[in-house]
Amino acid sequence: MMTFADLEAIKGELVGVNLDPLIRANSDTWRAKRAYVGLAVRDHDDPDLVSNTHWSVIGSSIGRNVKEERLHLADSARTLRGRSTQSSVLWTDLAEPARDFRLSRVELRGVTRSVAVNAEQSVDVREDVERVSRSFDETFFVSEVGVRLESEDPDTDGVEARVLLGDSLVVSDAGASLADLAGVALRLVSRSGIEAEQVQDVIASFEHRQ
């Protein structure tokens, strides 16, 4: 059975091809390990491609444009290494979109103190983080967040994904569904104000259509 990694291996032959049907047909089984959000790019052979919203190959990765940004997905770390665009994000800016996910770890860094909140006994530390942030007269920044995503094995408590905000990158060493990686990247990494409804439009691109 073809995997997303197999698709990556032949991406050089797929430049200019609309990959929506292939992505949609295999979305139930394909998993990847990385997602990156960067600026939408133009292809020299197709200057209008920046406005396209289908899955395609541009450069070295598979992705699609969302507003002024491009979401990239990959299974290989060699394909997506991330690019440092910011050092950290204010927790107050991250708190609202973070409500969409189960947070397993958040490191709060302030001027006078740093606090690491880990999910040792809780499945979601978001409320703990908010309680800590309210307890101190401090402006907290976040450079990395741990998110728990669904696993292929229903008997486990999910797989861990690290959101590296400084690199605009989401990494799941165990692999996660394409839809889950896309959702985390667009809600927590994107800086173009992508709303939950727009994220759902992208998620819908993975769904089978009759």
| pLDDT tens digit sequence for 32-57 | 999 999 888 665 555 555 456 789 99
Number of neighbours of residue 95 by Cβ within 10 angstroms: 15
DSSP secondary structure code for residue 43 in this structure: B
CA dihedral 52, 55, 202, 180 (to 10 degrees): -150
Number of neighbours of residue 169 by Cβ within 10 angstroms: 23
pTM listed for this prediction? 0.87
In tens digits, the chain (210 residues) has pLDDT values of 899 999 999 999 998 899 999 998 888 789 999 999 988 866 555 555 545 678 999 888 899 988 888 999 999 888 887 776 666 899 999 999 999 899 999 999 998 989 899 877 677 898 899 998 999 989 999 989 999 998 877 767 789 999 999 899 999 999 999 999 999 999 999 877 677 677 778 887 777 544
Q: pLDDT tens digit string along 121-140?
A: 677 898 899 998 999 989 99
CA distance 161 to 33: 9
DSSP output for 159-187: EEEEEEGGGTEEEEEEEEEHHHHHHHIII
Residues across the chain: 210
